């Protein structure tokens, strides 16, 4: 069974296009992201404007590229934040005595009561919508997920002899964590990171739709859906394309996660 899982291939394909567009937008976009061109407003997709133009004549491809960049950056940062806090917390839970770990578990689960939209709403009310607020709101929600997975995976590893041997050899707790525990629990964490990145993309799109994320005029996929929703009848591509890009990213993350789960579990 050396043939690659079709889901891995398909997932990577789904992600490759959007990621390439996002990276390209760092250096070049076909038109200025917020460049108005009223003469060419609401053009359907054609050779000059592959994704068409919006009600101000702005090129949708250029805006989508910048929006993808913001979405991907937010999703990666949020997932990274959740993992960076959740994984050490999970290992601490696994390593501590039941009496101390049970309240920690409960405390971590408490975060589930604050879906990203609630946290982002509070942050947006104080400081206005921001990409950083979206990262914090989504990342915080990831903490208990990573903590649960890390705790479950670390528990059997911690009981093994080589951990005790390494401790006896004089490695400190951080050394044991980094060199021995983390490599042995990496597989389920990588799978979960892929799935959480997909959830983060969905959440980012929702938050920018509400205006709780990256504020306009910076293009965001959710913000575009909000702006173009009223043009649904006249220019359906304006609504179809940003939503399809979000779906493609999420599908890619999910396929990659599912494929990795089966491959790494063997």
Partner 1 sequence: MDALTTLRSFASRLLWLALALLACSAITFAILDILPGDPARAMLGMNATDEALTALHAKLGLDRPPMMQYLAWLDDLAHLRLGTSMTYDIPVAQLLSGRLAITLPLAAGAMTIALSLGLPFGAIAARRRHRADGVMLDAAAQLLQSVPDFWLGIALVGIFALHWRFAPSGGFPGWAHPAAALGALVLPALALALPQAAVLMRVMRSALISIEPQDFIRSARARGLSPARIFLRHALPHALLPVLTIATMQISFLIGGAVVVETVFDLPGLGRMLFDAVGNHDLVVLRDLVLLVAAAITLLSMLAEWLATRLDPRGQPR
Q: Give the one residue of 21, 75, 181, 239 binding partner 1; rule: CB under 8 A.
A: 239
Do residues 204 and 74 lie in contact, with contact meaning Cβ atoms separated by under 8 Å? yes
Q: What does the DSSP assignment read for 115-182? A: -HHHHHHHHHHHH-S-HHHHHHHHHHHHHHHHHHHHHHHHHHHHTSHHHHHHHHTT--HHHHIIIIIH
Task: Show contacts with partner 1 in window 192-231 (CB under 8 A).
Answer: 198, 202-203, 205-206, 209-212, 225, 229
**Cβ–Cβ < 8 Å for 135, 78:** yes
Residue closer to partner 1 by CB (options 65, 238) is 238
**Applying CB under 8 A, which part among 73-81, 163-171, 184-192, 242-250 lies near partner 1?**
242-250
Among 32, 159, 164, 232, binds partner 1 (CB under 8 A): 232
Binding mask 74-113 for partner 1 (x = CB under 8 A): --------------------------------xx-xx-xx
Q: Give 95 or 252: the residue with its C-beta nearer to partner 1.
A: 252
CA distance 145 to 196: 9
3-state secondary structure of 45: coil
135, 250, 256, 260: which one contacts partner 1 (CB under 8 A)? 250
Nearer Cβ to partner 1 (163/227): 227
- Asked if 180 and 116 count as a contact pair (C-beta separation under 8 A), the reply is no
Residue 248, both tokens: 């493609």
Name every residue whose Cβ is closer than 8 Å to that of residue 101 and which is 6 or more positions away in sequence: 93, 94, 151
The nearer residue to partner 1, 37 or 258, going by C-beta atoms, is 258
Q: Is 116 in the site for partner 1 (CB under 8 A)?
A: yes
Interface residues toward partner 1, by CB under 8 A: 106-107, 109-110, 112-119, 121-127, 198, 202-203, 205-206, 209-212, 225, 229, 232-233, 236, 239-240, 243, 246-247, 250-251, 254-255, 258
């Amino acid at each position: 069974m050396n043939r690659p899982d079709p889901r891995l291939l398909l997932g990577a394909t789904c992600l490759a296009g959007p990621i390439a567009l996002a990276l390209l937008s760092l250096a070049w976009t076909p038109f200025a992201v917020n460049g108005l061109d009223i003469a060419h407003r609401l053009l359907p997709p054609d050779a000059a404007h592959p994704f068409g133009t919006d009600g101000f004549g702005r090129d949708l491809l250029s805006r989508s590229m910048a929006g993808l960049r913001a979405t991907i950056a937010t999703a990666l940062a949020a997932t990274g934040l959740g993992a960076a806090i959740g994984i050490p917390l999970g290992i601490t839970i696994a390593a501590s005595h039941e009496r101390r770990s049970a309240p920690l578990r409960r405390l971590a689960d408490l975060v589930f009561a604050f879906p990203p939209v609630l946290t982002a709403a509070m942050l947006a009310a104080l400081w206005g919508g921001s990409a950083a607020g979206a990262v914090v709101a989504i990342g915080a929600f990831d903490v208990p997920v990573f903590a649960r997975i890390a705790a479950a995976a670390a528990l059997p590893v911690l009981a093994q002899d080589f951990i005790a041997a390494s401790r006896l050899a004089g490695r400190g707790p951080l050394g044991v964590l980094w060199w021995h525990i983390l490599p042995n629990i990496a597989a389920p964490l990588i799978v979960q990171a892929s799935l959480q990145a997909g959830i983060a993309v969905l959440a980012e799109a929702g938050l920018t739709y509400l205006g709780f994320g990256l504020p306009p005029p910076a293009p965001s996929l959710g913000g575009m859906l909000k702006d173009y929703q009223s043009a649904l009848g006249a220019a359906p591509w304006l609504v179809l394309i940003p939503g399809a890009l979000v779906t493609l990213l999420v599908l890619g993350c999910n396929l990659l996660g599912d494929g990795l789960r089966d491959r790494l579990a063997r």
